[in-house]
Structures are given as C-alpha cells and as structure tokens.
A and B are shown apart, each in its own frame.
Chain A
Amino acid sequence: MKRRDFIQKSAVSAIMPSFFGKNNDLGAMDSPWMRLLTNAAAETNHVLVIIRLNGGNDGLNTVIPLDQYANLAAARSNILINESQVAKLNGSNTTALHPSLSGIANLYSEGKVKIVQSVGYPSQSFSHFRSTDIWMSASNATENVYTGWVGRYMMNEYPNYPEGYPNSVNPDPLAIQVGDMTLTFMGLTGPMAVSYPDLTNLYNFTDIGTPALTGKAGKELAYIRLVAKQADKYGDAIALAYSKGSNSSVAYPTDNNLATQLKAIARLVKGGLKTRVFMVSLGGFDTHSAQVDQNDHTIGMHSELMKTLNDSIFSFQRDLEALKIDNRVLGMTFSEFGRRIKSNGSFGTDHGAALPMFVFGSSLHGGILGNNPTIGTSVDVNANIPMQYDFRSVYASILSDWFCVNSTDLEKVMLRNFQKLNIVNSPSCITDTHEINQASGLKLISNFPNPFDFATTIEFQTQGGHTMVQIFDVEGQLIALPVDGMYAAGKYKVYFNGGYLPAGVYYARLQNGATQQVRTMLKVQ
C-alpha cells in the first residue's frame, strides 16, 4: 500500500487492538492477511472488465472528429452521421460520439470515461484473425506469440497457478472468459482463466449441448454432466459469490446479452468474487455493408451495436456506483482494428487500422487522450488512420496503475517497454498482495536473480521420477534443457548460464509427471 492510502485507511485500522505480535505497525493492519484473519472489510481487489468488439469497429463513426467534418463528408458521405445528431461531449467542440452513445457521453461529463484516440500498432494487419491475435497476445506484428497479455500478467502475479489452486488466499478464478476461451488468457502451459458460456447459468449444458436427449444415452450424458458440474473446482465459489451478491435497482436493458453478462459480473464482484479480469464480447462489427440505413444514417447495424454497447456500459457503471464498488472496477473496450476512412458502395466500411478505445469507471482521469485523426481533403480508398498510441501502452498503463505491476514485472508481461499513459486515477493501489500472490499455491520452480544478466540459479522441487526443466523464448522455441533425468523427490538447484541469449523474456518450465509449472525470467543486458 502506498503511504497516502495508509493515511486514508488508518482511521479504521487504528481502532483495532494490535495483538498480532511484531506486525503491530498500522501499515500491516490492513493487509489482506489481516483481513483474512479478521474476516473483516470488503474486498479491495481491483477488477478489470474487458469488452471485446468483434469484427473491427468503425472508430470514425464512434468517436467523431467534428473538426474534420468537411473532409469526412467527402470521404464517407453515404454513412456519415449528420453533425446535428451526434452526442456531444461536455467541454469539447471538436469531438463527439455516435448518437447512440449518449449514456457514455453522460459518463464522460462525470469524468468516468477516457477516450484514447487512434490506438493501433505498427505494420497493421488487416486480417481479423491475425490482428485479433496481435491485440490479444500484445505482440509485435512481426512475431508470433502464443501467450496472451493477461495470461502473462497472471503467470507473473500468480506464478504457481494452477498447482495448489484454489486456496484460501485465491479461492476464485483468477480470470473469467465469458464465452469461448481466447488467446488473451493463455499462459505458457494452458489458460490462466476459466470460461463459461453464460455467467447467469454456469451449467446450462442443455442449452449449449445436446438437446433433450432421452433414453440410455440421455441417462449417461446427464450423469456425466452432473459429475462435470460437481468437479468444477470453481463452480461452488462462483455460485457462492452469485448468491451472496446482488444488483442494485438500476435497470439493465433486456434482450441484450452483453448487459446480462455485465450485470452478472457486478453481482459477482459485489458478492466478493476475487476474480481480477473478466472478458465479455459483442460481435457483429464487421460492417462491410449496411452499416447504416441508406435513408437514415443514425439507424442500422452499427447504430444497434453502439446502442447495445452504450446501454450495457451505462447500466453497469450505474449499478456499480449504487453497489458502492465502482472504485474497484475498470472497464475497457477493444477491437482488432478500426475501419477504412473511405466508405464503400455498400453503405459500409472495409478493414482499417487505428481506432479509439474507451476506458470507463470511477477511478480514472476522464477526458480525451490524443488528437482527432486528420482526414485529408482527398482520401484514397486505401487510406487509413495512423496510430497515435500503441495499444500496448494502454495495457501497460492499466497493469501499472490499476494492478500495480512494477516496472521490471511490466517488462516481463509486456515483453518490452511502452509509453505510460495517464488513464488510471486510483488512490488505492495495493501492492502488498503481490508477495502473497507470489506465494499462493505450490511453488515448484523459481529462479534467482531475476532479472538476470548472464546467469541465474533455477531451484525446482520434484516429487521424484523423471524431471525436466526447459527454457523457452516468447515465441515458444526451446532454448535450453538444463534438467532432464531421473531425480529422487526433493529440491534441487541448477545453474543456468544465459549470458549468450539476447535480452528479453524467457520461460523456465518444469515438467514432473502430471505437474508442470512455469517461471517468467527476464534477461537484461
């Protein structure tokens, strides 16, 4: 905990008797350990909710650069929103939002929305898949990284997962993916998140699975489903939080699955679920045609999507506020790319490059980061919006200022250094859970020093039998095999000389029977 937070919280802490031996300084009184011991105080964990907009969102019709209107009108007259119909942003004459984003404009006026302009990456890929992978892995466009950025954060913060998880310190999923598992959460040896199709009904297998199967096969399938449900080590924890939690009287839109899932997330967080990252998605942004209605550009496919997004975020934020957990939750939208400046003949737009991101919540510096994109007088059909901010700067800023990741760890997670952006405004950045998370679960492998310059000592614990320690680079290439043989149960050390390796992130992976565990190591020059 930072000093200034301690001062804010000490009023509560100070009245507690200090009978916990040498840890009687007030700073220690509010540690998570203490909360655990006293079973007091609500959760203080910070939560990130990622909203993925599948398909590539048309940024220019989402955040509209009013000062570029004449040129914009020339480039995309058949989809342009009439200037008089945009949702105004309080205090800005030059930037406005899509008419369906009035709720977000509202939150903006309260300082609860940050708009980051023209976010992208160098060497834009126009493939949905490739660009999605780049955004999810936070890799350069020139490399193939098969771990996700949140996955790597989790690997670094909870290095022992899944060995010894869940446990009393981390009883809940580290991260939850609503819907199909994605690269965002992949660690080196598997997902660091759990996924459920629907948070309001974790085990609605009949909805997703075989329809009303009867007879012998139906009997056996029902049996296996029951066991699968009982065997889900996180199922009970989620159900408990769901039953303990509640939503406020704030109305959410109906017939809007994004809103339904966000509502469930608010309830789970209120119910004490310690999950740090949630990801939900909204599909249909690949608006090559009929993005707008030919006669009324404020309605049509994109408008529907904007409305769905707007209503969901607005209700969610208001609900969080009413539940008094809004200071703990940060939201973020992303999409694999923006769309082309020039519209096409089908009242739509083709794949583009940079686009704006929304970050929302009560703990941020609201406003607009960056300038409106500049639209030329004569826009080529292939012209795209160049990036002002690397998307990884947004991730890095959130990791640093919301999850309190220190600079060394940040490089391990993000694989290189990125510009920090002024997004998060959190007076309660808790750093004292870091050491606890490091120790949570069963530690089977570690290395020291880390970062290392030429050599590091890897310590590992084997349950006996064949044991292997492999060193991988971030693209999954096997670099070295310092341990490979039969070992009696116990702890061992091996000296790994990595002096010849280029600086960067490496993974030491222990394989011992059904057990595997990974340590993230940073080689510095």
Chain B
Amino acid sequence: MNSATTVQPSRRPRVLSGISPYTGTFGKDQLIHLLKRTMFGATKADVDYFKGKTLTEVVNTLLTAPATESLPPIKTYGNKADGSSDGVTAGMTWTTAKENGNFNGERRTSLRAWWIGNMINQDRSVFEKMGLFWHNHFATENIDTASILGYNYVKLLRKNAFGNFKDFVRDITFDPQMLRYLNGYLNSKNAPDENYARELQELFTLGKGPDSQYTEGDVKAGAKLLTGWKIRQVESPVGSGNWVYETYFNPNTHDTGAKQFSPFFGNKTITGNAAQNTEANAKKEFDDMLEMIFSKDEVSKFLCRKLYTFFIYYEIDADIESNVITPLAEIFRQSNYDVKPVLKALFTSEHFFDAANKGCMIKSPVDYVVGIARELSIEIPTAANYTEQYLAWHAFAGERYNGASIQGQNLGNPPNVAGWSAYYQIPSFHEFWINTDSFPKRVNFVDKFFTNTGISLGNSKKLAIDVLKVTDLFGADAGDPNKLINAVLELLYRVPVSTTFKNYAKNILLSGQSSDYYWSDAWDAYKGNPNATNTTTVNTRLQTFYKFLVDQPEFHLS
C-alpha cells in the first residue's frame, strides 16, 4: 500500500437502494427491525408469532386494522375538593356527557391515559403508530380545547389511520376540534380568518418544499372559501343525556363570492352559489379546492417524505428523493391517495431493509415508554381495576412518574400545529428527543420499575418489571448466560455490541464468577424450587442486568 495515499475525510457512503421489493433474507433480524419501526417495540411473543412467515404475510397482517375499536375512555377521576361533580358515574364514559369546563383537565388526563393504553394493548398492526403519525401531521393541542372535542379528534385519527388521505383532509377540515383549534369556527365572510387555510396548504398537504409555490393570495382565497362553518354540542336525542359535537353550516357567514387562486393552481377560480347558499354547495366548493390542491404532485411527495422521516430516517438526500420518495409518491397518486399501498411498498422495499437504515432511529418518548411496557411485559391492571389501570397508563403517558409528557412528547398536546419539532426540524430532527434534561428522565422513568417497590398504584397493585417473567420468555435460553444475553440483546437492541460489553453484562449474572454454570445452577434452582431465597438470588441479579441494558445509550435506538 502506498503510504503517501491521502485519506479523504470519511463520508457516509451513498445509499442507493430504492423501493423495489426486498428479496434478501427475511430472518429474525429483519423481522425485529420491521416490528420495531411499525409497532411500539417488538415483544418476544410478536417475534414468535411472525416467525417463519414471509415478508408479505407479515406486512399484510401489520396493515390490518383492529377488528373492533376500543371502548371509549371512562371516568376514574373524583369530585372536586368542594364536592362538585360532573354527574358522570365512575367507570362510565365521560365522552357523551355535556361539556363541563371544570372537568376538562381530568378528562384530558383520562383521554391521554386511554390513548397510551391502546398503544400498550396494540394489535400486531401499524395502526396505533399511524395514529401517532396522523396526530403529529394534523396536530391539534387538546390543552386549548374541550376534552370531548379531543376525544372526537382522536377517534377521527383512528378512523382514517389506514384510510384515504384525501378523505382524511376533508374530514379533518370539518372536525370540530380542528375548527376550534385553528379558528375555523370564527372564519366568516366579514372577518375572514386565514389560520386554517394557511396550515391546510403549508402543513397538511403541500408543505414548504421548493416545488410548493402556493401564494399568500391562495391562503386568502382558501380562507374565504372556508367561511361559514360552526360547531356546537347538542343533546341527541333531546332529553337522552347523550351529547354529541357537530359541525354545522351558517350560510349568513359564508362568502359565496369568487375565490381566485394563483398561477400555481392554474389561476383556478372557485365560486359559491349565492342563489343556493347551502351546506352541500359550500362543501362542493371545498371539494373543488381539494381537487385543485391534490392535482399537485407535491402533495403526494410531501406526505411520503413525512412517512419516510417517521418510519425510516430523517435524512432525505437526492438519491433517496429520486429512488424512494418519487416512486412512492407515484404509487400514492395511482392509488388515489390510499395510504395502505404506500405503506406496503415502503415496508416491503429493499430500502427499508437496507443495512444503512438499521438502528438509526431515536425512539420518540411515546415509542420509548410504550416499548418498555410491551417489551419488558409490564403488567397493567385490568379493566376490573379500572382506577389502577388508568393510573398505570397515566404513569406511561403523563407527568407523575417522568412519563412521555415529561420526556418531551405529551400525547394530545404537541407544542404547536406543526407537531413535534423532532419530526420536522432541520437539522437535528429526532435528536431533539434526547438532551441533558430528557435523557436522565428517560433513564429515571425505566429505573423505577427495577426496584422491588416499583411504582405503587394503591389497592395492592404496583407497576414493576417482573424480571423473572421476562427471563422466562426465553425458555431454555434463560439458563445459559451467553444465550440469554444474546436473546435479550437481539430483542432489546438494534445495534451490535462488543464482546467486552457482553462480558460486562454477563458479569452481572455471574456475580463476578468466571464459570457460566453458576448462573445456570441458580436459574435451575429457582425453576425447580422458587422459594424466597432461590427467587431473590436470581431476581437481584436480573434486576441489575436488565437495568444495565436499558440504561445504555444503545437502548434508545430503534
């Protein structure tokens, strides 16, 4: 070798793989990669379930929505200190009650707990993760609005999780929560409010890429077109005690005049029907605008880039734009904006399984906490103990125990209409999830589960990681420290570790002894006779072992 050779600064090699179907080995490693990206963590049971199935079979299952929707969130909160109540019976849903500003906080907490509970109990499906994707995409902040609107909004995200994007845009436009959040309900002929018309183009459909050239005039025209929509909560039927929110049309505040769009939209004009100023005609105007917006290829590209960032990685260079985004967007348009074909192409593509894209996603706080619940089999009280069940869910979602909201992702309350900066902010993207404040909180969150006291939920219920149960999942491997370490790392980590690292972990199981059989003997003794001493012996070591693994930086990568 010529010693005079100048070494160029190392540059990451180009990733040239595209969306051609992946034809390489679809083994355990690829399966776990797929599951971690599309679900919240991969459990041992998930991996076992899919073992031996083809990539197509697995993805088909993952693209199936749950057969039944979860029962709505229920009341587990009490009365106010002054004794006042919202009239809802404990254990019954508050989502059909009359709006009550005094109980919004309690109900929002309930909604958030319920939502994360759905994630923890997820089917083997991308469904729940798509719900989070859409929440970030069509972001609204519950904190500003009524809790029942928030619930309706979440239901809408779920209804359209695997649906048609164009339909979804229509639905969200007239969703009472969105109308309230972006002031659509105040948008009237005499006082147009541009808020929604702007975000519809800038954040929801076209984005701000170089090929998105809508103008301020288009925002104004859109705002004018969207005048006249109001929201209200009505008892239905009257006297039933069942309250629902609805969006209704007030012709008096709708502008039926001509809306002139820019050359970007081919100078299109959409005019209302002054003679028949009806809800149907106003919706027709909207549909015309929707078609106009969706006639731009940029819509499909924008959404594909967001899906890419959410499921694969945040860097989209020229190669990825032309090999992945462009063909995916083509599929999206050909399917008339059905989401499933795009997801299917993405999750079965050679690019998805490109080694370059493995283990490079920093888990979002929701991904992190729900993944911990699932992968480490944390037992959550059942509906029979709904108070403790909601408290447990709250521990994952909320503030009390350094849950996701404290780690920077408050489900139901993204920082603004653009969603969480980790999903869009150049250049750091999901590195935003980890900083010197959030990292110790993430570690503290999981560490509490490795003590014998755990988090006490009351009523003799506690939240803890049962390390014996987790270890038992690995069957015969549990008795061999090398096999156990490999099996646990295979499931929990997406990046390889050194031999030194494995020895360090093994040293915990062996208590510093040099022979593997000491662990085997201890495990076998426990399995043969799980008395207090045999149990404590393995429990102590396993707690330290798992705690060590989840406290490492590697665990935060998916």
Interface residues of A (CB under 8 A from B): 52, 54-55, 127-130, 132-133, 144, 146, 179-183, 188-190, 197, 205, 207-211, 213-217, 219-221, 223-225, 227-228, 230-231, 233, 281, 283-284, 286, 465-466, 468, 470, 472, 476, 484, 486, 509, 511, 513-514, 516
Contact = CB atoms under 8 A, between A and B. Distances in A.
Contacts of B357: 216
What are the 10 A-B residue pairs with the smallest beta carbon separation, nearest first?
Answer: A216-B360, A54-B512, A224-B553, A217-B359, A144-B536, A217-B360, A231-B436, A211-B498, A514-B402, A231-B439
A190 B447 contact: yes
B504 A223 contact: no
Interface string B510-554: 011111001001100000000011001110110010011000111
Contacts of B448: 190, 514, 516
Contact of A286 (B444, B494, B515): B515
A384 B455 CA distance: 44
A349 B14 CA distance: 60
A47 B30 CA distance: 51
A128 B515 CA distance: 11
Interface residues of B, number: 68
B356 interface: yes
Contacts of B514: 54-55, 283-284, 286
Given A129-B522, A283-B512, A146 B498 contact: no
A188 B453 CA distance: 8
Nearest to A53: B512
A217 B521 CA distance: 38
A462 to B, nearest CB: 12
Given A129-B511, A180-B548, A221-B553, 6 more contacts: A146-B540, A210-B498, A217-B360, A283-B514, A468-B456, A514-B402
B548 A224 contact: no
Interface string B60-101: 000000000000000000100000000000000000000000
B315 A180 contact: no
Nearest to B428: A223
A221 B495 contact: yes
Contact of A133 (B508, B513, B540): B540
Given A146-B536, A221-B554, A54 B511 contact: yes
A209 B537 contact: no
A470 B453 contact: yes
B386 interface: no
A55 B513 CA distance: 6
A46 B93 CA distance: 61
B552 A209 contact: yes
B400 A514 contact: yes
B435 interface: yes
B152 interface: no
30 contacts: A52-B512, A127-B537, A128-B518, A129-B511, A129-B541, A144-B532, A146-B452, A180-B507, A180-B508, A183-B540, A189-B453, A205-B553, A210-B498, A211-B497, A211-B498, A213-B495, A215-B12, A215-B13, A217-B557, A220-B360, A223-B362, A224-B362, A224-B557, A228-B439, A231-B437, A281-B512, A466-B400, A468-B456, A513-B400, A514-B402
B555 to A, nearest CB: 9
Contacts of A209: 497-498, 501, 552-554
Contacts of B315: 216
Nearest to B494: A217
A211 B556 CA distance: 17
B451 interface: yes
B458 interface: yes
Contacts of B541: 129
A502 B367 CA distance: 47
B287 interface: no
Nearest to B13: A215
Nearest to A476: B452
A392 to B, nearest CB: 18
A27 to B, nearest CB: 40
Contacts of B402: 514
Contacts of A217: 358-360, 494-495, 557
B553 A130 contact: no
B401 interface: yes
A380 B533 CA distance: 28
Given A216-B12, A220-B431, A468 B440 contact: no
A197 B504 contact: yes
B346 interface: no
B472 interface: no
Contact of B360 (A183, A190, A219, A514): A219
Contact of A511 (B360, B399, B456, B511): B456
Contact of A54 (B437, B513, B547): B513
A227 B511 contact: no
A126 to B, nearest CB: 11
Given A129-B537, A219-B360, A514-B444, A190 B436 contact: no
A190 B496 contact: no
B267 interface: no
Given A127-B522, A128-B518, A514 B401 contact: yes
Contacts of A189: 451, 453
A224 B515 CA distance: 34
B522 A210 contact: no
A160 to B, nearest CB: 17
A223 B552 CA distance: 13
Most chain A beta-carbon neighbours within 10 Å: one of B361, B500, B511, B557 = B511
Given A130-B537, A217-B495, A221-B553, A227 B435 contact: yes
A490 B364 CA distance: 34
Nearest to B544: A181
A215 B497 contact: no
A132 B496 contact: no
A469 to B, nearest CB: 10
Contacts of A284: 514
B497 A210 contact: yes
B439 A224 contact: yes
Most chain A beta-carbon neighbours within 10 Å: one of B436, B448, B508, B518 = B436
Contact of A55 (B361, B512, B533, B540): B512
B369 interface: no
B353 interface: no
B401 A513 contact: yes
Nearest to A488: B81
Contacts of B538: 129
Contact of B356 (A215, A220, A221, A223): A215
Contacts of A190: 447-448, 451
B436 A220 contact: no
Given A127-B537, A146-B452, A230 B399 contact: no
Contacts of B401: 513-514
A128 B458 contact: no
B32 interface: no
A214 B359 CA distance: 11
Most chain B beta-carbon neighbours within 10 Å: one of A180, A509, A516 = A180
Given A55-B514, A227-B434, A233-B440, A511 B455 contact: yes
B399 A223 contact: no
Contacts of A180: 504, 507-508, 512, 544, 548
Most chain B beta-carbon neighbours within 10 Å: one of A211, A231, A484, A509 = A231
B502 to A, nearest CB: 10
B313 interface: yes
A235 B550 CA distance: 20
Contact of A208 (B456, B504, B557): B504
Contact of B548 (A181, A214, A216): A181
A207 B496 contact: no
Contacts of A132: 511-512
Nearest to B358: A217
B510 to A, nearest CB: 8
A127 B356 CA distance: 47
A221 B557 contact: yes
Most chain A beta-carbon neighbours within 10 Å: one of B12, B402, B440, B537 = B537
Nearest to B460: A478
